Amino acid sequence: MKTTTTILAIFISAFVAAQTMQHSITFNPQQQLNASQRILSGNYGQSVTVGAYGELTYNQPEGDNGELDVQRLVLLFGYKFNDKTQFVTEVEFEHVEEVFIEQAFVNYAVGSNVSLRGGLMLVPFGIINEFHEPTTFNGVERPGLDNVIVPTTWRELGFGVAGRFNDLSLGYQAYVFNGFKSTSFDGSGGVNGALKGSNALRGGRQKGIQSTIDSPTLSVKFDYYGLPGLRLGLSGYFGDTQAEDDVESINGANIGISMFGLDARYAYQRFTARGQYVHGSLSGTEAYNNLTGNDLGSALEGWYVEGAYNLLPQSNEQRLFAFLRYETYDTHADTDGVLLRNDAFNRTDVTMGLSYHIAPGVVFKGDYQFRDNALSGSNVQNRLNFGLGVWF
């Protein structure tokens, strides 16, 4: 009985230690942390740190039934072995029935401003892929750009380095990862292609699930925080996709990827803003489409801008943001060979709504989305969304 009580006390103390007060949409974007960064920055000694984030959503397209969903619940665990070595993992439950490991990596602090990392990690690209806890962004759903071009949540196995140059107000990350999976045999002699025009690279994420690797890819990101209230990011991702062994030698089995992105976050008094631009060039798509029968484009491009204003006094713990976001993204920004551009893949979303933070780490959201694409005569459904998000 005494042993059980001791174990329970240790667990409770570790859990309580994880409950740091954190306004997620911060008025100081230079100091914003995501879930894994909060765990790594904690100084809890040799103990287990526990946290979680999750979101429940309601989506109502015009003319169709609405959908209620426990979209995701993510359990966070961290352990500090000593002053230099920590482990972080996130266990994600999606739509109640699917279970994934979102992150699982070791962080080794070589010095005060540089760390080595290895394991299953987020690819540092843009804003949302690293900062996707539901209280860190406006809107019930993540921006469309961060779904079909930056395939959030994008994580792969790899190793690399993270740190900052304080004199330059510059943070950096550089990792070698396995790449997207592009092709595999379908069991009857044909070849399946995981990449396609509508959502580009998203279907090729390997997520650490028995990942195949032939040629590693390089991911880098720089964050500049030298101007008050402003945080700027520059991201890059370069390399080839991966194919299964028996498919690797076939012409068109793989494509090359060169993708870069710019992002910015700004805050002044009760006003916050953010924006992002992404461009991706894909080589070898004509041979890839000939082999797989798919319609993958040779260029991806998109951007968005968003402004938000806190309607409550700055001194209040609660915050009520009214926001407006305009975004456009095209997964057929260019095509190779005989493949014609599909204007349905050139999309525009305008999202407006409210985010009510009733306490640090708890938000109620509501928004309306005007959705459209460039295809003549298309009828894209606008959508009403509501959501509840938590993070602790």
Q: Are 70 and 97 in contact (CB under 8 A)?
A: no
CATH number of the domain within which 192 lies: 2.40.160.10
Full residue range of the structural domain in which residue 246 is found: 2-391
Strand partners, 287: none
Q: Which residue is listed with tokens 């009760």?
A: 270
Q: Which amino acid is at 262?
A: L
Q: What is the pLDDT of residue 18?
A: 38
pLDDT tops 90 at residue 386:
yes
Contact call for residues 132 and 138 (beta carbons, < 8 A): no
Q: How many domains does the chain have?
A: 1
The confidence score (pLDDT) of residue 21 equals 41
**Between 23 and 368, where is the model more confident?**
368
Sheet holding 242-243, edge to edge: 191-193, 181-185, 242-243
pLDDT in tens, 213-269: 999 999 999 999 999 999 999 999 999 999 988 899 999 999 999 999 999 999 999
CB 367 within 8 A of CB 354: yes
- What is the 8-class DSSP label of residue 196? B
pLDDT at 186 over 80: yes
Q: Measured between alpha carbons, how far is 167 from 68 in angstroms, rounded to an integer?
A: 49
Instruction: Using pLDDT thresholds of 50, 70 and 90, give the confidence band for residue 4.
Output: very low
pLDDT at residue number 246: 86
How distant, in Å, are the alpha carbons of 25, 275, 390 from that of 363? Answer: 10, 22, 6
Instruction: Give the pLDDT confidence of 38-89 residue by residue, as tens digits.
Output: 777 765 555 788 999 999 999 999 989 999 999 999 999 999 998 899 999 9
pTM of the model as a whole: 0.89
pLDDT at 190 over 60: yes
Q: How far apart are CA 136 and CA 29, in angstroms?
A: 11
Q: State the pLDDT at residue 245.
A: 86
Average pLDDT for 5-21? 38
**Whether the Cβ atoms of residue 148 and residue 331 lie closer than 8 Å to each other:** yes
| CA atoms of 143 and 327, how far apart (whole Å) | 8
Between 114-118, 149-153, 169-173, 245-249, the lowest mean confidence (pLDDT) is in 245-249
